[in-house]
Chains A and B, each alone.
Chain A
Amino acid sequence: MNKVISIVGLVLIAAAGVLAAISTSHEDILKSKKELCAKYTKNAQAALANNDIEKAFKFAKLAIKADPENRAGYKVLAQITDAKCKASQPSSAKAAAASSTEADNAKTENKAAQKPEEKASQTAAQPAKPAKPAAEEEEEMGC
């Protein structure tokens, strides 16, 4: 009796797997990759919300690896890089403020007037940049 149950059980398990393999299509496999990428992206965003940059970076890379065609992973990677830059900016801003004089203040006022124009041109140029190079240059990105 036990032997029969064991054989029937094994056949049922194998049958379930074979049926799943036959009934799934390539699109289903791609869909599962997208779902995996979405899960990794969600975990990366959750880690970023908790200020765990290292973990967020790891999940973002896994999201890109799971589905390289999906841009969500690259977007999260860009968010993480921005967060990393913002985290390192306060120390450099303080040093710049401490060393400036009145003449420097006048110069910076002129520069500040020019900055919005530069920022506008930069933001106009940014959407044109493809998302992929951001991922490829992740090692070189710095603030």
Chain B
Amino acid sequence: METIFPLYTNGFFDSHTNLMLAVLLGVMFGFILERAGFATSAHIAPIFYFRNVMVAKVMVSAIVTAATLIFLASIFGYVDYSQLFIPTTYLWAYLAGGLLFGIGMVMSGWCPGTAVVGVATAKIDALFFALGLFVGMYFYFDIYSYIADFANSANLGRFTIDKLVGGDIRISYLITVGVSFGLLIFMLIMKKLVGDKNE
């Protein structure tokens, strides 16, 4: 059988194996996050004040590396780009949710993924964040019937950057790398202009 990624959607292993692999990858991901310093809220929150750009550096490194690997594998015919899971885009709900997410992240110094790492490394503030996360999820499901129309509005489907540029994945890759490095340079400049002055 010819190897085509993603392996699970192309029938190389069953759903049980897929779940076991997900657990293993989750453990590896948590380990890498902890080693990268994301298990401490004091390393995450300062990015919003341009004092510490560690988060931007790690994120940009991860995005550029992953995008390059997927792009190269795609042009060599190993990855079926159309089979990669990308959630549906609900524009207004994502904007509102992103804003709420950002406010929560600045206040607490955690995001859901890093909070799990924090809980695993016995951080008490991460535990309170995780509890708040579950209360928020319960609250959302409780009021969902009232906001369902808004939550499902502006359904753009599986929206990717290459759709904006006529389906050319080369251009979408170059845009991704350009925006990532641009963001990093912006953060480094802001750190020098604003962050260092506030310390």
- A29–B1 CB distance below 8 A: no
Is A36's beta carbon under 8 Å from chain B? yes
Q: Which residues of B contact A32 (CB under 8 A)?
A: 74-77
Which chain B residues (33-84) contact chain A, with CB distance < 8 Å?
A: 60-61, 64-65, 67-68, 71-72, 74-77, 80, 82-83
Task: Report chain B residues within 8 Å CB of A84.
Answer: none
- Indicate if A106 sits at the interface (CB-CB under 8 A): no
List of B residues within 8 angstroms of A58 by Cβ: 11
Interface string of A31-69 (1 = CB under 8 A from B): 010011001101100100000000100110010011000
Which residues of the partner chain B approach A46 to less than 8 Å between Cβ atoms? 1
Rounded to whole Å, the gap between the CB of A83 and the closest CB of chain B is: 18
A21 to B77, CA, bound (A): 15
Chain B residues contacting A39 (CB-CB under 8 Å) are 2-4, 77
Interface of B: prevailing SS: helix
Say yes or no: B2 contacts A10, CB within 8 Å: no
How many residues in B have their beta carbons less than 8 Å from beta carbons of A?
Answer: 29
Check A20–B74 contact: CB distance below 8 A.
no
**In contact, A18 and B174 (Cβ under 8 angstroms):** yes
| CB pair A10 B77 closer than 8 Å | no
| Selected contact of A17 from candidates B60, B71, B76, CB within 8 Å | B71
CA distance A36 to B83 in the complex (A): 12
Interface of A is mostly: helix
Q: Which residues of chain B come closer than 8 Å to A24, judged between CB atoms?
A: 75, 170
A59 CA / B4 CA spacing, docked (Å): 11
B83 closest partner in A (C-beta):
A62
Could you tell me the distance between the alpha carbons of A28 and B169 in the complex, rounded to whole angstroms? Answer: 12
**CB-defined contacts of A141 to chain B, threshold 8 Å:** none
Q: Is A5 an interface residue (CB 8 A)?
A: no
Does B181 lie at the interface of the complex (its beta carbon under 8 Å from any beta carbon of A)? yes
CB of B177 within 8 Å of the partner chain: yes
Which residues on the B side are within 8 Å of A18 (C-beta)?
A: 174, 177
Q: How far is the CA of A17 from the CA of B70 in the complex (A)?
A: 10
Q: Which residues of A contact B4 (CB under 8 A)?
A: 36, 39-40, 43
Residues of A within 8 A of B60 (CB): 10
The residues of A that contact B3 with a CB separation of less than 8 Å are 39
Known A28-B75, A58-B11; further 14 A-B contacts with Cβ < 8 A: A17-B71, A17-B72, A21-B171, A21-B174, A24-B75, A32-B74, A36-B4, A39-B77, A42-B2, A43-B2, A43-B10, A59-B11, A62-B83, A65-B82
- B-side residues, CB < 8 A to A, are 1-4, 10-11, 60-61, 64-65, 67-68, 71-72, 74-77, 80, 82-83, 168-171, 173-174, 177, 181
14 contacts between A and B (CB under 8 A): A6-B61, A10-B64, A14-B181, A17-B68, A18-B174, A20-B75, A21-B170, A21-B174, A32-B75, A35-B77, A36-B4, A59-B10, A62-B80, A65-B82
